[in-house]
A and B are shown apart, each in its own frame.
Chain A
């Protein structure tokens, strides 16, 4: 036996149980109040239904099934090559230089934005970029304005001890915030968060609204609120920017109003644009002094993108024909599915069913309304508990139905297959 080595030790039992109450008391107030992902809970229910043999059309999770949407061949091959070449240690804290250069060129070519290299920071997907933006800009209790519905801003607000200012948006604006509404919310806010194409609605912010947003962030906001002591920032999340359809186009506030650049932080990633949600490569592009602090935040959290994936992403982005060919196929595949959904729903609507959808514009989502409030399936119980197992007997009887998390009445029962 080598010195210090233990071979085949008898495993000891780990006495983890200390009582649920004590464990709960041991948690921070933030952790106690944190709500997990509602979407992933529904996804788990869908998986349980599928495992039980039910025929389920899974329209839940904002992810890609690799059998339908594989990552680019070049990305897979270059990741393998990079691992074999020993790209397995820590990456530089702001990202691999070749990837940051590739992102710089990508923004020049596809978005018409010429940023210096020190404006670009790589992280393990868009989520740590969002976290770092909130963290770098907001002090505890300061306000962030964001539209509802939007993805996870309520959770980031809780996680960071910020104050959320919700800007409710509806069908009349395709669920997109307007500049006047954001301007009103911005009186108290230090950060505005906008995502376009938008998760969850798949709608795309019109060019004139994007430009108005740029004006708000530039001189306009300061002129409107001269007593503002600290600057207002915009986090512009455009991870779905390569996915637009039906003549809709993605625009950026910095291209429209360059003066707003010192106050705009772009969040971007390969997750959605290259079907690579599991590879974890994202980036921030923004004002250098803010980005430098974000680098330190990302570094302390250790949320760097894996080195091999960074190298592979750099080589993919540098191969413009490969990127173009991939996006052509991806757009066709996503668009075909969204159109099939939209046309199917339009057909139901035209025949008098209480259902409507917003036309596909971007991302991988369709927004659909089921006008079923107050209605229930014949034979269904009049009320049910809010939480129930997907494998419970009631779920078996009613297995095709998903329901909203917050309400406990049948009024909320809206469904799909």
Chain B
């Protein structure tokens, strides 16, 4: 995924572009398990 700084934004905003043209639904669903684990380590 691509941070908005790659689209001319100067400050750190936390916003990202997620593009779905190169993934399957199964890949997306599998990624959420990994994302939740990583977010839990950082955010909670």
Which A residues have a C-beta under 8 Å from some C-beta of B?
38-39, 42, 55, 57-65, 68-69, 146, 148-151, 153-154, 166, 168, 171, 199-202, 275, 334, 336-338, 340-341, 344, 347-348, 352-355, 364-373, 375-378, 400, 402-407, 411-412, 414-417
Contact = CB atoms under 8 A, between A and B. Distances in A.
Given A63-B21, A63-B22, A337-B23, A405 B14 contact: no
Interface string B1-27: 111111111101111111111111101
A367 B20 CA distance: 11
Contacts of A376: 42
B15 A39 contact: no
Interface of B: 1-10, 12-25, 27-32, 34-36, 38-44
Contacts of B27: 57
A334 to B, nearest CB: 6
Nearest to A364: B21
Contacts of A42: 2, 6
A355 B44 CA distance: 12
Nearest to A416: B1
A60 B1 contact: yes
B3 to A, nearest CB: 4
Given A348-B36, A353-B39, A405-B6, A371 B20 contact: no
A166 B9 CA distance: 9
Contacts of A39: 2, 6
Contacts of A407: 5, 12
Contact of B8 (A58, A69, A149): A149
Nearest to B20: A337
Contacts of A62: 17, 19, 21
